[in-house]
Amino acid sequence: MTEKAQLPRAGEAIPLGRNRDFVRLWLSQTLSATGSRVSYLVYPLLILAISDSTTAAGAVAGTAALVEIAVRIPAGVLLDRLDRRKVMLWTEAARVAAMIAALTAAALGLISVPLVFAVAAIDAGGAALFVSAERTVLRHIVAGDQITVASARNEARIFTAELVGPALGGALFGLARALPFVFNAVAYATSFFAVLAIKRSLRGKVPEEDEDIIKAFTAGFGFLWRQPFLRAIVVVEPLLNMAFTGTMFVVIVILHDAGVPSYGIGTAMAVLAVGGILGAVATPWIQKLLTPRSIIVFLSWTSALMAGICVILPSGYWVVVPLPILVFFAPATTATVFAHQTAVTPDHLHGRVVSALGFFMKAMNPIAPLAAGILLEYLESSAVIAVFASVFVLASVIVTLSKGVREMGEPAPRETAAMGN
């Protein structure tokens, strides 16, 4: 079959497995996400090895999260005005350069805390921009009625990275500090060429050139606020993500303090990905059996319960046992949110809406690891997990009572009309 025959045309739904551009996009993000998950484990471990400070380890994770948030603010305008393929390519090229700098310093014994912070910032900023771009181009590669299934497959990809990345990062770090950066450099470079091989145009409808820049920046946020369901999500998701990020950081420190080797920590962290992968596989059935509200409610209360169980478990590997269940409903929730967002968003606003949504969803992530690192200096680890479990409970109460989540509002008349233009 020719390459041209693999490209979806308007009204045509090519099976995702035979859509070569979707496969390339999936591969590029899988590699990019795997590199990010390797980094997520390695940066705190490297800081702990250099400085033996949980506050500094929390600060590097918090810095990465803060940069990710900051990048999402201009990302939407950039993605709606520039060629999204070029944005993805430049992003991966910058991350490759950062990894080469880090592996060189590590190999020469010159690695330092400031350098780790700088590399982590570039890596996290690039990841945020790449993910935002990837979400905006999906509608150009698959048919409209495939968006939900494609989103679910993308979530499976994320949890595949969660499964492979931490274990691989821990194992490589245990062998040599430079090796995780070698892997990431190769992964990001391969992701670069996978994006380069995509045949279809990934550029959206360019806004009018005389569009006011302030209006351009705020358009995505305004659109979200006019959508009842998405407005509810931007209130709840920051709490859920902060609680999850904080809990994962505390678990890493618990394992480190229990004397678990780096490869063991990576393997333990990979265990939670099993729940995510199973949840991604089950997403089509979950979405048939449950309403969108029920999916989000199950995710929230299950997370709160599992975090609560972590509080009473002994230190060491036992604390990892509830984690797969904690994330089981996450793929279905994310697929539901982004499929709905894609369905109601006109293409000329898509980059800004995706970036605004991502900004809100990650808004509180920088607080989590830094707060966890500081709290761990004064409190027992179980008490710190209890703090984040209470945040899960707060989010669960809000979800349960939210009218926007309960009704999953339809697009407002103005946006509906815009979609038809």
DSSP 230-266: HHHHHHHHHHHHHHHHHHHHHHHHHHHHTT--HHHHH
- Give the domain extent around 149: 16-205+213-419
Q: With beta carbons less than 8 A apart as the criterion, state whether 302 and 329 touch.
A: yes
With vertex at residue 55, the alpha carbon angle to CA 51 and CA 59, rounded to the nearest 5 degrees, is 100
Q: Among candidates 83, 187, 185, which has minimal Cα distance to 133?
A: 83
Distance CA 180, CA 36 (A): 11
Residue 75 lies in a domain: yes
409 within some domain: yes
Does 3 reside within a domain? no
Coil, strand, or helix at residue 420?
coil
9 in a structural domain: no
If 0-12 CB within 10 Å is exposed, 13-18 middle and 19+ buried, where does residue 403 land? exposed
Reference 38, options 185, 151, 156, 154; nearest CA is 185
Helix ranges (DSSP H) in 108-212: 113-141, 147-175, 179-196
Instruction: Flag whether 11 is in a domain.
Output: no
Do the domain assignments include residue 262? Answer: yes
Helices (H) and strands (E) in the chain, counts: 17, 0
Q: How far apart are CA 323 and CA 276, in angstroms?
A: 10
Per-residue pLDDT of the chain (421 residues; tens, 9 = 90+): 344 434 444 345 677 667 788 788 878 878 888 888 887 778 888 888 888 777 888 788 778 878 887 887 777 777 777 778 888 889 999 999 999 999 999 888 888 888 999 999 999 888 888 887 777 777 777 766 666 677 767 666 777 777 778 778 888 888 888 899 999 899 899 889 988 888 776 765 555 555 555 676 677 778 888 888 888 888 888 899 889 888 888 888 888 888 888 778 777 777 777 887 888 788 888 878 888 788 888 888 998 999 889 888 887 788 888 888 888 888 888 878 877 777 788 777 777 777 778 778 877 777 887 788 888 888 888 899 999 999 999 999 998 888 888 776 443 433 333 333 3
For residue 353, give the CATH number of its domain.
1.20.1250.20
- From the list 203, 248, 272, the residue with the least C-alpha distance to 373 is 248
Residue 372 belongs to what H/E stretch?
A: helix 367-376
Q: At a CB cut-off of 8 Å and minimum separation 6, what does 24 contact?
A: 194, 195, 197, 198
Tokens, residue 51: 């400085």
Residue 118: the pLDDT is 92
In one-letter notation, the amino acid at residue 399 is: V
Buried b (16+ CB within 10 A) or exposed e, 101-122: bbbebbeeeebeeebbbebbbb
| Cα separation, 327 vs 269, whole angstroms | 12
The answer to whether position 20 is within a domain reads: yes
Which candidate, 183, 148, 169, places its Cα nearest to that of 266? Answer: 169
pLDDT of 2 reads 40
* Contact criterion met (CB below 8 Å) for 268 and 331: no
Q: What is the DSSP letter of 5?
A: G
Q: What is the pLDDT of residue 214?
A: 62
Overall number of domains in the chain:
1
The answer as to whether 194 is a domain residue is yes
Q: The whole model's pTM is what? A: 0.62
